[in-house]
Structure 1
Amino acid sequence: MPTYRDEGVVLRTHKLGEADRIITVLSRRHGKVRAVARGVRRTSSKWGARLEPFSHVDLQFATGRTLDVITEAVTLHAWSEPLCTDYPRYTVGQVMLETADRLVSIENEPALPQFQLLAGALNALVGGTSDGPRPATMVMDSYLLRAVATAGFAPSLDACASCGEVGPHEAFSPASGGLVCPRCRPPGTPQVRPATLALLSALISGDWPATRAADEPTQRQASGLIAAFVAWHLERGLRTMQHVAR
């Protein structure tokens, strides 16, 4: 069978038969790939632990009729080890994996930006950001904003999402696509604090030094707005979000 090689992050696994698993991977060059890992559930398997969610692995695939087959796996980053022993970071990581899985819906289509965002976010979750450690939920919020923006759903943070009037504006509507002016503001739209808007802008641009001074109420309001915005554009909420410890 023809073979190919790629690196990727394991998103999820499913049991297949008595000893196999179907592994879903977000890869660097081939997008989302679903492949069979034969015998991986046997206690004698030498590389079963390398194919757990959060693992960053270098894989060799053999092309199959319906599903490809994983024939070799080499660990690049074992992010699963520290995350599985830290519940707050583990739940945040699960949200990241589910988001990547939902955003990259077509298999075997290139998705390099999404792969890079996910790998960078998991690395920051485990080892800290470029400006030092940040709360796990803040790393998640930055990833969520940047991932949906890369998918084409960037929130408007400097002009009205409905009419385009340049801000600053004080209301954020997930359904409208971001900030809205007083004329376009739907009923019940929450008002955004200036500090929260500054935090949202820093999170979507990856400006970690600018997030250093954000207090807890600001982080909490930003997290709520981001969760609502992502749920709206994914058409349903993230199943794993309910387990995140805030």
Structure 2
Amino acid sequence: MRKLLIIGIGAGDPDQMTVQAIAALNRADVIFLPDKGQEKAALRHLREAICARFIEKPRRSVTMETPRRAEAGDDYRGVVDDWHARIAASYAALFRLELAEGQTGALLVWGDPALYDSTLRIVERVRAGGLALDWEVIPGISSVQALAARHRIPLNRIGEPVLITTGRKLAEGLPQAPDGVVVMLDGEQAFAKIAPEGLEIFWGAYLGTPDEILIAGPLATVSDEIVRVRAAARERHGWIMDIYLLRRCD
């Protein structure tokens, strides 16, 4: 049977690689490296740098071209489901071709594979499609943890819960509870469209990379700055990965 190691590699800093993740990289026969085109070439280069730094003996690497997702429109779940189906079909064909029976492949996943990443769902689809496949998950440091560390704050106040959600959900309205809300995948800057009174924000982009940007303060004061800085950074790099914590002021 073919086997996959689905390895969380942290939020962007190679120093965030765990001992377990490094050991897993060195168990793999084949390293599969996603390619999302020239726009996100920096992400591929960071994965390659991690492999070059931590793999002790040469391993064969295979590039995986990732199909583009269509615009979500009004049918977000339907568009994502179609996108995942196309990725799964591509992965299945590649695993059959590049990973022999009895061999182990490695997939390097940003952050932690269990948090707002679809690799595990896609691999489930691959197996459901008829390819005999087993896998192991190696957790990684998520951007949620990295955000709190870089701002030098705890995510939660004493005894209080934290909600992790998306920009799409935040756009529907800020939850009345809990006290803190971590927002991921916010391509539309939903924080700038909610009432800012009584809220503070801790925002970060490109966490763990040389291009890291951090801004924090009362939402009413720094919201416009974040929108401006974010737009400039996205224009400069061609892509952006950011995350933020919103919470009510003391």
Greater relative CO (CA pairs within 8 A, separation 6+): 2
**TM-score for the superposition, normalised by structure 2:** 0.26
